[in-house]
């Protein structure tokens, strides 16, 4: 089963797309989980895991497999840490690479949905993360 953790801020329309899609999409073999806190990523490391969030600077729905490509926003407190920060942290601490599905900020939700469904259809089973050792829970 593929798990896609959906992040965003419902209070900011440009940042709510992943949450909206996570609540409305139904795809066989995929579980969408709307999340409000990025530390839940560690709860799903034994799954075929992806993180989905909006990102500035992408023109279309994009699968990011190299977390170093994600430019972190400025952080002042722990509340400012985004899912990209936790993806990079998980990779360093646990040796687990979690791909990010980056959604374009400001694009019409219907267009994002269409692109997202095309991307999901191309994901091979088991490609969501590279486990260092199967069954090992942090």
> Which pLDDT does position 128 carry in this prediction?
65
Domains located in the chain, CATH noted: 2-122 (3.40.50.1450)
Strands ordered across the beta sheet of 62-64: 30-34, 2-6, 48-55, 100-104, 62-64
Residue 67 — pLDDT band, cuts 50, 70, 90? low
Strand-pairing partners, residue 55, are 104
Output the pTM of the full model: 0.82
With bands split at pLDDT 50, 70 and 90, how would you rate the model's confidence at 131?
very low
pLDDT digits (tens, 9 = 90+) for 75-117: 444 444 567 777 777 788 788 888 989 999 999 999 999 999 9
> Which tokens go with 26?
């139904």
State the first-to-last Cα distance of the chain, in angstroms, to the nearest integer.
Answer: 20
């Amino acid at each position: 089963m593929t798990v896609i953790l959906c992040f965003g801020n419902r209070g900011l329309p440009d940042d709510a797309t992943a949450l909206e899609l996570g609540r409305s999409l139904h795809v066989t073999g995929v579980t969408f989980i709307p999340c409000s806190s990025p530390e839940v990523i560690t709860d799903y490391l034994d799954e075929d895991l992806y993180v989905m969030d909006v990102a500035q600077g992408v023109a279309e729905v994009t699968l990011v497999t190299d977390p170093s490509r994600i430019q972190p926003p400025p952080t002042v407190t722990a509340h400012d840490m985004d899912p990209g920060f936790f993806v990079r942290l998980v990779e360093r601490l646990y040796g687990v690479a979690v791909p990010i599905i980056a959604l374009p900020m400001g694009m019409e939700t219907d267009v994002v949905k269409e692109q997202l469904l095309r991307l999901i259809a191309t994901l091979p089973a088991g490609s969501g993360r590279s486990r260092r050792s199967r069954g090992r829970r942090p």
